[in-house]
Amino acid sequence: MRRPVIAGNWKMYKTIPEALEFVRQFKPLVVSVTRCEIIIAPPFTALKQVADRLEGTNVQVASQDVAAEPGPGAFTGEVSATMIKDAGARWAIIGHSERRQLYCETDDSVNAKIRAALGADLNPIVCVGERLEDRDQGRAQMVVDAQITAGMHNLTASEASRIILAYEPVWAIGTGRTATPEIAQEMHWFIRSRLKGMFGEGVSENTRILYGGSAKPENVEGLLNQPDIDGGLVGGGSLDPEIFAKVVHIRESR
Ligand code: PEP
């Protein structure tokens, strides 16, 4: 049985006081949640304080990125996996489409970041997903296949088993357009079959694969009901504690 996960990606939103106010309001809203894992990814500046406030609760913390270099070293502007762990996070989002599109992240850098995270005992949440033109040209599976093959290249099955994957079609992120449950399920099934080919049945069956892309309480139920969708990575819908808690409870009560 795969334990469901709902993760929130705050992107470049929330100052430290805003982040702590979210935590204050959110904690009691999800205190009864036991089946669903909950993860929040604040900006780096708020990571430590948010993690401190959430210590001992059922809400874990992720960073939104991680340096590819294990460090320490002369890498101005980068934050190492060890530093992220030190700030109290257990997870790191890697290869988000905004980083791929706006900051030249490649499958090779994704692979290096996965290694750096695993090396510091930080668990990766690895994002994959096709652009609209890929889907329109019938290349959606080919693109996602290439991202997984190169991004998870040369990992052992035991390393791969520590990864959560997030399928986030680029055309659905922050656009208000959501993939239909059928489109998302088809891709999740495809990803699981690729994991089987690369790492064997155990990893394929046990890996949590999240859907991401304009998910909110009004549209998430059909997606979360699909057999290969194990939860969600939520951007805009995670900024408001009540809305994000609603998404968590929809998955918790399934
Ligand atoms: C995301 O940032 O991972 C995301 C899915 O964003 P949104 O929910 O806003 O589309």
What 3-state class would DSSP assign to 137?
coil
To the query of whether residue 168 is one of the catalytic residues in this protein, the response is: yes
Question: Would you give the distance in Å from CA 1 to the centre of its chain?
Answer: 19
Question: What's this model's pTM, rounded to 2 decimal places?
Answer: 0.97
Ligand 1 mutation target, pool 233, 238, 243, 244, most atoms within 8 A of CB: 233
Could you tell me if the CB of 62 is within 6 A of ligand 1?
no
pLDDT by position in tens, the chain (length 254)? 899 999 999 999 999 999 999 999 999 999 999 999 999 999 999 999 999 999 999 999 999 999 999 999 999 999 999 999 999 999 999 999 999 999 999 999 999 999 999 999 999 999 999 999 999 999 999 999 999 999 999 999 999 999 999 999 999 998 888 899 999 999 999 999 999 999 999 999 999 999 999 999 999 999 999 999 999 999 999 999 999 999 999 999 98
Is the N-terminal amide bond of 124 cis, ω within 30° of 0?
A: no
To the query of whether residue 18 is one of the catalytic residues in this protein, the response is: no
Q: Which long-range contacts (CB under 8 A, 24 or more apart) does 137-144 make?
A: 140/169, 140/187, 141/187, 141/190, 144/187, 144/190, 144/191
Residues 6+ apart with CB under 8 A from 222: 180, 181
In terms of residues, how long is the chain? 254
Residues 6+ apart with CB under 8 A from 160: 152, 195, 198, 199, 203, 207
pLDDT (0 to 100) of residue 250: 97
Atom of ligand 1 minimally distant from the CA of 168: 5
Which of 98, 105, 130, 168 is flagged as catalytic?
168
Atom of ligand 1 minimally distant from the CA of 96: 3
How far is residue 167's CA from residue 9's CA, in Å, rounded to a whole number? 14
How far is residue 4's CA from residue 204's CA, in Å, rounded to a whole number? 15
Classify burial at 100, counting beta carbons within 10 Å of its beta carbon; exposed 0-12, middle 13-18, buried 19 or more.
buried
pLDDT (0 to 100) of residue 1: 86
Could you tell me if the CB of 234 is within 6 A of ligand 1?
yes
